[in-house]
Amino acid sequence: MRVKFIGLVRDAFGTPETQVEARGVEEALRLLDARHPGKILEDERLRSAVLVLVNGHSITSLQGLGTELKPGDELTILTLTAGG
């Protein structure tokens, strides 16, 4: 599955995208966290400034970390920023 990185997550991973094989969001995030510990997960939970989308939809409007993934799904991970 294609994983796109936007914002500070992109900087942390050093690439705009990568590939992972996972059946669900939580598994995908754990695999990515193993590559770059602490950039997406903190204490086994999603970091507060990180937003995860599946096919453009926030996982908070789906089944959260329990959201299942199908072949062809696209995961987008970005960091929330504040400014003024």
| Domain enclosing residue 21, as ranges | 2-79
User: What's the sign of the alpha-carbon dihedral 23, 58, 80, 8?
Assistant: positive
Q: What is the pLDDT of residues 31-43, one digit of tens each?
A: 999 999 999 999 9
What pLDDT sits at residue 44? 86
Number of domains in the chain: 1
Task: Tell me whether residue 3 is exposed, middle or buried, using C-beta atoms within 10 angstroms of its C-beta: 0 to 12, 13 to 18, 19 or more.
Answer: buried
| CATH label of the domain that carries residue 61 | 3.10.20.30
pLDDT at 10 over 60: yes
Tell me whether residue 37 is in a domain: yes
**Is 84 within a domain?**
no
pLDDT(82) > 70: no
The CA dihedral of 80, 8, 58, 64, to the nearest 10 degrees, is: -100
Mean pLDDT of 10-29: 96
Q: Which amino acid is at 26?
A: E
